[in-house]
């Protein structure tokens, strides 16, 4: 049980997986902020921490530091930060992670040694270029760390200085870093980065500019003009399939996990990617895709130990059923959802570009992907076949259903008047044709392209339901799925209304 003493409980907290640590934070952290920070700095200075414990300690320290107002930082804390800067055991990247809790202007002139520390990153052009190239080439997943530490916390003027320092760099790693800067909200910064990429005048520069023209709506026209101009100056590049990727990298870098979930009732599915970049050094990515909007969210976590990576995997796999697929299929899906996002006007998370560069996926572009609907042998299915994911989530969560059922909030589903049941059934059939039919088709495609493609019965069930929705029987009760889904819709909506929830927006 927690609350033995704060130091002991902090030691236990940092031993957990990153996800579990976030969940248990309020349980294991109960002393005042100053006390907790003093103990964390003590752990950093004196404890021999494993890589994951150190990463958790740094993340926890940064999280707590972010709660300080700039004008209320106590003097003792500047003393601890000064000691941190002199600590040779902690890498510069890790120090920068902690310091990124503050804006640079908040530390200038107040933290002794801060200017010298920043100067180590950007003082000399060759040093900064070498730093970027060395960090990313030794471990591509560090591109994400550099993005978080440098890009998210640097002022536009600071970024313009870095861009100037990298002018003329031809290394792929430097170009990947510059590509991320082209997504900066400051247009002057973004255009300066684009111009620096063009200055490289290499095939890698053309590829990078082409990628920007495909994914970056703000600089699309300028990037297109730049790469076309360079193509005339350089020899014709080899032709690549835009949906393909480069050969697997060397140095034993390999995927350990490539999985895709089936589509849930919100029209969402999850892509799970795990890659090992060095011994006991893992990278994790989770991409949330949604049929109605494209790529909704992307989570990246780098520099994980094997145990920490397995903890994250266990947590994800306890919530969803995943299907193992090949890399090419994941890229095909991502490109398809990029296209959906463009049609819907959805903002592209820059983490997708980071993921593309970390995994060395060249020329990802928004491309429609048409699911192939195979022929199948029908069979009779039963309600028990629907008591599994994703069918149990395929019910209609809609404002109109709430409005219709609100007068019956104290009743059970079987007590609802037949005319109300019929009205909701009509609503559901229209909804299902629009929303669930594409979900059935995508689920079939995922299974067909997975290592579980022999699960033909489940594929056939999706196809049967699809056909029932497109060509409903004369009487809706002749469809097992329609009966099940309408009943589930009424049951779940009545339950929500009884809990005081009056519209879908209240729980979304």
Question: The domain 6-233 is classified under which CATH number: 3.90.930, 1.10.3470, 1.20.950, 1.25.10?
Answer: 1.25.10
Residue 468 and residue 481 in contact, taking contact as beta carbons nearer than 8 Å: yes
DSSP state of 24: H
pLDDT of the residue at 448: 92
Residue 157 and residue 104 in contact, taking contact as beta carbons nearer than 8 Å: no
Name, in order, each residue with C-beta under 8 angstroms of 132's C-beta and a sequence gap of 6 or more: 146, 166, 171, 173, 174, 177
pLDDT of the residue at 452: 83
77-86: burial string, b at 16+ Cβ within 10 Å, e else: beebbeebbe
* 286 DSSP β-pair partners: 272, 299
Residues 269-286: tens digit of each pLDDT: 999 999 998 888 899 999
Say which residue the tokens 């990429």 belong to: 197
Structure tokens at 112: 């002794």
More confident residue, 47 or 310: 310
pLDDT of the residue at 16: 84
Rounded-to-10 torsion of CA 231, 236, 238, 239: 70
How much of the chain exceeds pLDDT 90, in percent? 36
Whole-model pTM?
A: 0.74
Q: Give the least confident one: 37-46, 123-132, 179-188.
A: 123-132
More confident residue, 171 or 155: 171
Phi then psi dihedrals of residue 270, to 5 deg: -120, 135
Q: How far apart are CA 177 and CA 475, in angstroms?
A: 60
Q: How far apart are CA 104 and CA 118, in angstroms?
A: 9
- If you average pLDDT over residues 20-48, what whole number do you get? 84
Q: Give the least confident one: 132-141, 230-239, 440-449.
A: 230-239
Q: How far apart are CA 345 and CA 202, in angstroms?
A: 32
pLDDT, averaged across the chain: 84
Residue 168 and residue 199 in contact, taking contact as beta carbons nearer than 8 Å: yes
Residues 412-468: tens digit of each pLDDT: 888 889 899 999 999 999 999 999 999 999 999 999 999 887 788 999 999 999 999
260-290: burial string, b at 16+ Cβ within 10 Å, e else: bbbbbbbbbbbbbbbbbbeeebbbbbbbbbb
Task: Evaluate if residue 295 carries a pLDDT over 80.
Answer: yes
Nearest alpha-carbon partner for 405 in 475, 481, 498: 498
Q: How far apart are CA 425 and CA 484, in angstroms?
A: 11
Structure tokens at 261: 């979930």
pLDDT of the residue at 247: 40
How many residues in the chain? 508
Task: Evaluate if residue 204 carries a pLDDT over 70.
Answer: yes
Spell out the domain ranges in the chain.
6-233, 254-358, 383-507
DSSP state of 148: I
More confident residue, 52 or 150: 150
- If you average pLDDT over residues 66-93, what whole number do you get? 77
- If you average pLDDT over residues 329-335, what whole number do you get? 95
pLDDT of the residue at 241: 45
Q: How far apart are CA 368 and CA 341, in angstroms?
A: 11
Say which residue the tokens 């970027």 belong to: 132
Per-residue confidence at 3, pLDDT binned at 50, 70, 90? low
Q: How far apart are CA 206 and CA 229, in angstroms?
A: 9
- Whether the upstream peptide bond of residue 476 has omega within 30° of 0, thus cis, is no
More confident residue, 476 or 217: 217
Q: How far apart are CA 472 and CA 469, in angstroms?
A: 5
Per-residue confidence at 329, pLDDT binned at 50, 70, 90? very high
Task: Evaluate if residue 251 carries a pLDDT over 50.
Answer: no
- For CA atoms 84, 53, 138, 223, the dihedral sign is negative
Q: How far apart are CA 345 and CA 365, in angstroms?
A: 15
Per-residue confidence at 268, pLDDT binned at 50, 70, 90? very high
Q: How far apart are CA 159 and CA 268, in angstroms?
A: 36
Nearest alpha-carbon partner for 269 in 448, 385, 144, 438: 438
Per-residue confidence at 71, pLDDT binned at 50, 70, 90? low
């Amino acid at each position: 049980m927690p609350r033995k003493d704060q130091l002991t409980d902090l030691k236990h907290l940092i031993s957990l997986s990153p996800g579990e640590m976030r969940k248990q934070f309020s349980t294991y952290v109960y002393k005042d902020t100053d006390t907790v920070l003093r103990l964390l700095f003590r752990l950093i200075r004196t404890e021999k921490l494993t890589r994951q414990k150190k990463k958790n300690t740094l993340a926890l320290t940064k999280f707590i530091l972010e709660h300080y107002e700039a004008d209320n930082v106590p003097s003792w804390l500047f003393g601890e930060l000064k000691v941190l800067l002199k600590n040779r055991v902690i890498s510069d990247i890790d120090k920068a992670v902690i310091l990124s809790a503050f804006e640079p202007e908040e530390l200038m002139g107040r933290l002794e040694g801060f200017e010298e520390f920043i100067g180590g990153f950007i003082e000399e052009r060759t040093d900064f270029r070498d730093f970027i190239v060395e960090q990313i080439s030794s471990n591509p997943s560090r591109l994400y760390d550099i993005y978080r530490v440098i890009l998210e916390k640097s002022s536009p003027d600071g970024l313009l200085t870095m861009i100037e320092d990298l002018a003329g760099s031809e290394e792929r790693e430097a170009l990947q870093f510059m590509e991320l800067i082209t997504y900066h909200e400051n247009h002057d910064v973004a255009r300066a980065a684009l111009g620096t990429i063009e200055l490289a005048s290499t095939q890698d520069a053309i590829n990078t500019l082409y990628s920007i023209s495909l994914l970056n709506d703000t600089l699309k026209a300028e990037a297109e003009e730049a790469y076309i101009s360079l193509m005339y100056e350089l020899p014709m590049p080899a032709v690549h399939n835009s949906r393909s990727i480069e050969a697997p990298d060397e140095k034993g870098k390999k995927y350990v996990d490539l999985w895709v979930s089936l589509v849930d009732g919100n029209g969402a599915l999850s892509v799970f990617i795990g890659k090992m970049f060095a011994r006991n050094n893992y990278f994790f990515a989770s991409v949330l895709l949604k049929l109605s909007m494209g790529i909704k969210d992307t989570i990246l976590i780098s520099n994980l130990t094997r145990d920490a990576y397995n903890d994250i995997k266990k947590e994800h796999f306890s919530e969803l059923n995943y299907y193992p697929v090949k890399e090419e299929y994941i890229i095909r899906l991502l490109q398809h959802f990029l296209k959906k996002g463009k049609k819907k006007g959805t903002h592209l998370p820059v983490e997708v570009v980071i993921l593309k560069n970390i995994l060395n996926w060249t020329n990802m572009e928004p491309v429609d992907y048409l699911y192939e609907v195979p022929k199948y042998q029908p069979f009779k299915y039963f309600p028990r076949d629907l008591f599994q994911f994703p069918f149990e989530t395929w019910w209609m969560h809609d404002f109109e259903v709430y409005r219709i059922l609100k007068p019956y909030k104290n009743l059970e589903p079987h007590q609802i008047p037949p005319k109300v049941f019929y009205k909701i059934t009509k609503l559901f059939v229209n909804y299902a044709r629009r929303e669930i039919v594409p979900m059935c088709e995508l689920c079939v495609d995922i299974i067909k392209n997975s290592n579980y493609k022999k699960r033909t019965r489940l594929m056939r069930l999706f196809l049967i339901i699809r056909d029932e929705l497109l060509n409903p029987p004369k009487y809706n009760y002749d469809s097992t799925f329609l009966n099940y889904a309408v009943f589930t819709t009424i049951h779940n909506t009545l339950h929500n209304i009884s809990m005081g929830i009056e519209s879908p927006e209240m729980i979304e």
